[in-house]
Structure 1
Amino acid sequence: MKFKKIIILTLLVIGLAACQEEYEKELIPGSELAGEWFVETLTGGAVVVGHERVMTYTTAAADGNQIWFDDAGHIWPVKAKIDANAGDNSFAGTGDNIEAPVYSYDTLDVIRDENVDPIDSVNQNFEGYETITIMEGKIIADGGVSKTGVLVDSIYVKATFSDDPGTEYEITGHRRTGFVEDDY
């Protein structure tokens, strides 16, 4: 009799545990634009930087209206907030490149003295940031192929930088799979 009670209790616990709701992955707006990408950078149709990693990720607002575009110092360096349209997987706009601050310098009139470091005779004034303008940025679902042939999303960006006026860059590539075999 005791054995039957244990079996019934065990089946009851298993039955109750099986009734839990299935976990549903909750996505924040703009998360489909987020990812790590292996890209080539071209200008005038010629590759100027080959297979480097860039990242796109949501801002703290998590509203899908802006994303960060960040190359982690591999291409320019660039890190800027860009306007996004999560509904059609696109982003475009001009953003301050926080990796490229602009300074002006004022020299101080200091009498030459061996005890004064020359660097202490210069004032550095923060003026703002260089900018990146992304004319066209889009994520294409299943539009790319990884190094090992896996179907992945692709990214296309057409951009200019304020510290290289007149030069248009195309940054194009595919989503990182996370597998070592696909890394460059």
Structure 2
Amino acid sequence: MMKKVLYLATLLFCAVFTSCEKEEVGNTAGVATAGQWYVTVDAVDESGNVVYEDADLFGLGRNLLLTYSTANNTATEMIVDDLQTFWGYRVKVNVDPVNMTFSTSTTEPNNLNGDEINVTITDGKIIKDGGVQNNGSKADYIEFYVNFSNDDYPANYGYAKYHVYGVRYSGLAEND
């Protein structure tokens, strides 16, 4: 009888301590490029010179943008999603994880709401500690150029594309 009690106590002891172990949570393959970003959008000419600043263009201010892994979970592709705060686009881009650069390989169809527009993203890059938050602290910086197939504004207002740029979301209210 004593052996059974000792056996059950040992079993219970092992079960309790085994269940207390923390499981390591793994990251996605694209953890370095994935994130939430506060971005601004300017209209620029072919050389990247500002033609209309955000306040003059659509008056949007800073927008939230997401970059995240695709279902393939590779470091060489990610999704860029503007959460419908600017043009309403979500497209897959190719990523060079060593140089932290990204772009669409060709014109990508917009994967949001089944829209029949094509999106081109070029010269995308993420720079570690390359930006500055509102409170003065360093933050990762993102920038890229984007064009939309259903956009008549560039031809009508004399610019070529949109320059999207900003910093990684810090989680601090003072930086929002």
Structure 1 length-normalised TM? 0.68
> Displacement, 1:64?
1.3
> Displacement, 1:27?
3.7
Which SS does the other structure have where 1:173 is aligned?
strand
Mapped to 1, the partners of 2:111 and 2:70 lie a distance apart of: 14
User: For 1:93-112, what aligned pairs fall within 5 Å after superposition?
Assistant: 93=104, 94-99=107-112, 101-102=114-115
Structure 1 residue 71 corresponds to structure 2 residue 64 = no
Which SS does the other structure have where 1:181 is aligned?
helix
Mapped to 2, the partners of 1:23 and 1:149 lie a distance apart of: 36
Q: Deviations over 1:152-184 (max 9, x none)?
A: 10001111111116530000110000112211x
Dislocated runs of 4+, deviation >4 Å: 22-26
Change (3 A) 1:30 1:146: same
Percent identity between matched residues is: 29
What corresponds to 1:172 in structure 2?
165
What corresponds to 1:88 in structure 2?
99
Structure 1 residue 158 corresponds to structure 2 residue 145 = yes
Which SS does the other structure have where 2:136 is aligned?
coil
Structure 2 length-normalised TM? 0.70
**Greater strand proportion:** 1
Q: What 5-or-longer segments of structure 2 have no aligned partner? A: 1-16, 45-49, 155-159
Mapped to 1, the partners of 2:40 and 2:131 lie a distance apart of: 13
What corresponds to 1:147 in structure 2?
134
Mapped to 1, the partners of 2:108 and 2:98 lie a distance apart of: 21
> Displacement, 1:100?
5.5
How well do the aligned residues superpose, as a CA RMSD in angstroms? 2.4
The alignment of Structure 1 onto Structure 2 pairs a total of residues equal to: 139
> Displacement, 1:71?
0.7
Bigger CA radius of gyration: 1
Change (3 A) 1:134 1:178: same
What corresponds to 1:43 in structure 2?
43
What corresponds to 1:30 in structure 2?
30
Mapped to 2, the partners of 1:172 and 1:25 lie a distance apart of: 31
Letter of the 1:91 counterpart: F
What corresponds to 2:7 in structure 1?
none
> Displacement, 1:79?
0.9
The answer to whether the 8 Å contact 1:136/1:159 transfers is: no
> Displacement, 1:101?
3.3
Q: What 5-or-longer segments of structure 1 have no aligned partner? A: 1-16, 103-128
Q: Deviations over 1:21-48 (max 9, x none)?
A: x987744322111011111100031223
Letter of the 1:179 counterpart: L
Letter of the 1:95 counterpart: E
What corresponds to 1:13 in structure 2?
none
